[in-house]
Amino acid sequence: MIIKGEEQVTEAVLEAMQGTPDARLREVASALVRHLHAFAAEVRLTEEEWELGVDALIRSGKACTDSHNEMILLSDVLGLSTLVCLMNNGAGGPTETAAALLGPFWRMHSLHVANGGSILRSETPGPTLFMQGQVVDTEGKPISGAEVDIWQASPVGMYENQDPGQADMNLRGKFTTDEDGRFSLRSVKPAGYPVPTDGPVGDLLKAQKRHPYRPAHIHALLFKQGFKTLVTQVFVDEDEHLETDVVFGVTEALVGDFQQHESEPPEPDAGTPWYSLEYRFVMTPGEAKLPVPPIK
């Protein structure tokens, strides 16, 4: 088609795509073109704005390293990651633990830890947290042998791959549920933290007058053959940013009950005050597959 005016561009591109053999690719690409062109037409996108957008994507790609994924972070702060997550996993409820976005800091090869063990691998100041979890199916029956991958930021708000002061794989560990579907661990109470703001995502947040903070949380990835892999987070109930999470990841089902204690802790060296958390994870039948790690 020879283009005579702006109103023909979208039609020409869609026509060129009609021969795509893969039906799903044809559907997705066609919808992308329709909405992308409609967006440009609605805001009457200028050439300077288009160049700025292209440059932001180029800079985001260049900012990705083995320890940082700016593209995932961009998807997160635009709410796209959470939207896709909830569309594909449901919004939770009485029989299902709500899923949550994977985030940009999951690493696949964290170490296995015995039930009740600590995920601290270097000195990490902060109040001790003892977490007990149970994994069940939608009928409430315990799921034994499930792998529970836990990771979190330190009380200073940094994951170990961001912080040279922490040992490799600090505050990360994999646990296996027992015959009652239970696992337990020792850690420190997590803190809220700002997402990285030294790249294009930070520029966007500044321009929109948005704060960069995530409320304190613990990540969990649950894997067991015969069940859909569950990626979720448990948030500290007293955090000031629960309602303004920069990546829109907080749902009601994910707010945990972090209890503060002044009594003698379960382990003498834990100190006071110490915290406890009990949380029940519900897995649904489905395909067990691991996501692509955003970092190494």
Indicate if the pLDDT at residue 63 is higher than 50.
Answer: yes
Cβ contact 131:280 at 8 Å: no
Structure tokens at 193: 């933290």
pLDDT at 156 over 90: no
Q: What is the pLDDT of residue 104?
A: 80
Residue 107 has pLDDT above 80, yes or no: yes
What stretches of 203-296 adopt beta strand conformation (E)?
213-214, 217-223, 230-235, 259-261, 274-282
The pLDDT value given to residue 76: 92
Mean pLDDT of the residues in the chain: 93
Q: Any residues with CB less than 8 A from the CB of 213 and at least 6 apart, and which?
A: 192, 193, 194, 195, 241, 244, 245, 246
Q: Mean pLDDT throughout 49-70?
A: 94
Question: In the predicted model, is pLDDT for residue 91 greater than 80?
Answer: no
**Cβ pair 221, 103 in contact under 8 A:** no
Res. 82: pLDDT tops 90: no
With a cut of 60, say whether residue 96 has pLDDT above it.
no
Are 234 and 249 a contacting pair, CB within 8 Å?
Answer: no
pTM, entire model: 0.86
- Strand 128-136 and strand 274-282: the pairing is parallel
Residue 95: pLDDT band by 50, 70, 90 thresholds?
A: very low
pLDDT band, very low/low/confident/very high, at 170 (cuts 50, 70, 90): very high
Percent helix, percent strand, percent coil in the chain, to nearest 5: 30, 20, 50
Bridge pairing between strands 147-152 and 172-176: antiparallel
Residue 162: predicted pLDDT: 87
Contacts of 16 (CB under 8 A, 6+ apart): none
Find out whether 93 and 86 touch, Cβ atoms under 8 Å: no
CB 131 within 8 A of CB 184: yes
| Tally of CB atoms within 10 A around 36 | 12
C-alpha radius of gyration, the chain, whole number: 22
- Per-residue pLDDT band for 94 (boundaries 50, 70, 90) equals very low
Which tokens is 115 given?
């039930």
What was the pLDDT predicted at 90?
A: 61
pLDDT digits (tens, 9 = 90+) for 126-151: 999 999 999 999 999 999 999 999 99
Q: Taking 50 as the threshold, does the pLDDT of residue 125 lie above it?
A: yes
Return all residues near 233 (Cβ < 8 A) that are at least 6 apart.
Answer: 100, 101, 103, 217, 218, 219, 220, 249, 254
- Integer Cα distance of 276 and 286 in angstroms: 31
Residue 84 confidence (pLDDT) above 80? yes
State whether residue 252 is helix, strand or coil: helix
Task: Report pLDDT digits (tens) over 262-292.
Answer: 999 999 999 999 999 999 999 999 989 998 8
Return the amino acid letter for 93: G
Mean pLDDT score, 233-245: 96
Q: Work out the average pLDDT over 27-37.
A: 98
DSSP E strands in the chain: the ranges are 128-136, 147-152, 172-176, 182-188, 193-194, 213-214, 217-223, 230-235, 259-261, 274-282
